[in-house]
Amino acid sequence: TDERIAQFHNRHLPLVLIHKTPLPDLSIPFVTVENKAASRKLVDHLITVHGCGRIILMRGPSRQEDSYWREVGYKAALADHGLPFDEALVLQGSFEREKAYNALKTFLADPNHPEFDAVFAGDDDAAIGIYDALREAGLRIPQDVAVVGFDDSRMAPFLTPPLTTVRAPTEEVGRSAAQHLFRLLEGQMPELATVHATEMIIRHSCGCHDQPD
């Protein structure tokens, strides 16, 4: 919690945050990845290249900043194309395979569910659950429903079909955080904000042909 982080800071403990920004009055270094622009680009790809206009957002954990900024990017892409944001197309997946699977399965079980043509999974683990739920409902990826993820986890290229996603440099985030921590231990103050770039990886789940990584 922010309160606990403030307690550590006030005790002058060396502290670096990962995927979380500190309260404005706390000078604590943090390391994260670019979420908003990457999500915006990913959803824009679904709209402009594949003609999708009814895109489910599998929302991540409510208190996680990555989840917040990915949703902001999703909404921005819709707004760019004059598409309305529809809360009925937002499901709670929590960046977890089972929760995403159950959320989409429940959604599909309603005979009056809103029409949709794509799913932004929020992260790759949730995408696996989405794959399972769509297949059980007899829906094909990407012929019937396009699916995209985020993180480019190790299994993403090996899913059937391979998952279009965003490559987030997780290892670099950990390395930067450790380097900042070493500087703090040496009595130096590292830069406060480190934001690593992300990259859209096009595979087949969105409807594109596979491209080499």
Per residue in 22-79, pLDDT (tens digit) is: 999 999 999 999 999 999 999 999 999 999 999 999 999 988 999 999 999 999 999 9
Q: Which two tokens stand for residue 37?
A: 């622009």
One-letter amino acid at 186 equals E
Segment 126-135, tens digit of pLDDT: 999 999 999 9
Confidence of residue 4 (pLDDT cuts 50, 70, 90): very high
**For residue 210, what pLDDT is reported?**
53
Segment 102-126, tens digit of pLDDT: 999 999 999 999 999 999 999 999 9
Mean pLDDT of 136-153: 98
Q: What is the 3 state secondary structure string of 119-185?
A: EECCCHHHHHHHHHHHHHCCCCCCCCCEEECCECCCCHHHCCCCCEEEECCHHHHHHHHHHHHHHHH
**What is the signed CA dihedral for 133, 136, 142, 145, rounded to 10 degrees?**
-60
**For residue 209, what pLDDT is reported?**
79
Mean pLDDT of 79-93: 98
pTM above 0.95, yes or no: no
**For residue 63, what pLDDT is reported?**
87
**Does residue 211 surpass a pLDDT of 60?**
no
CA angle 113, 78, 169 (to 5 degrees): 105
Segment 150-187, tens digit of pLDDT: 999 999 999 999 999 999 999 999 999 999 999 999 99
CA angle 122, 15, 63 (to 5 degrees): 30
Segment 189-205, tens digit of pLDDT: 999 999 999 999 999 99
Q: CA-based diameter of the chain, in Å?
A: 62
Confidence of residue 213 (pLDDT cuts 50, 70, 90): very low
**For residue 212, what pLDDT is reported?**
46
* Percent of the chain topping pLDDT 90: 96
Cβ 154 vs Cβ 200: under 8 Å: no
Which element (helix H / strand E) includes 101? helix 97-109
